[in-house]
Amino acid sequence: MNTQITRIFNIRNPHKHIIYILPFALDEETINYYYKIMELEEIPNYKERVTFLEVDPSFCFKQRISISAKLYYNSAIIRKLKKKLKDFASYFVISYPSLVDIKLSVYLNIPIFGGDLHSVLQIQKRTSL
């Protein structure tokens, strides 16, 4: 997750909005840390354009289930996400999609933005050492 969260700094583009899907709640201090960096970078309206969305606030899903599966099976979070997305062109940023990612993409009618299998596997090999 640490490498993925840096993607929120793509918010430098004033036309982008980012919804960061989290497996658990970030504490206020961590969120404020990211907000402070965005403030120092002079990113306009960052609080309105970055949303941290916790998938499993009640921890009712088993820990071994993927974030995408937690999202797919949590109707309350899906409704929140649909409400956020209704006015924007959106896409998922996923390194290599699983079957659940694809089902979620189809259900929400959002394309997946990811890499080709060969590139993703090479990156995973380098980062798992």
pLDDT, tens digit (0-9, with 9 covering 90-100), for 46-78 = 898 888 888 876 666 666 788 888 888 888 888
Q: Which residue has the tokens 């354009």?
A: 49
| H/E segment holding residue 11 | none
Q: How far apart are CA 49 and CA 18, in angstroms?
A: 6
Query: In sequence order, which residues have a C-beta less than 8 Å from that of residue 68 and are 6 or more positions away?
Result: 94, 98, 100, 101, 104
Structural domains counted in the chain = 1
Partnered with residue 92 across adjacent β-strands are 112
The pLDDT mean for the chain works out to 79
111: CATH: 3.40.50
- Global pTM exceeds 0.95: no
Range of the domain at 53: 2-127
Q: Which residue has the higher pLDDT, 63 or 87?
A: 87
What pLDDT, on the 0 to 100 scale, is given for residue 71? 86
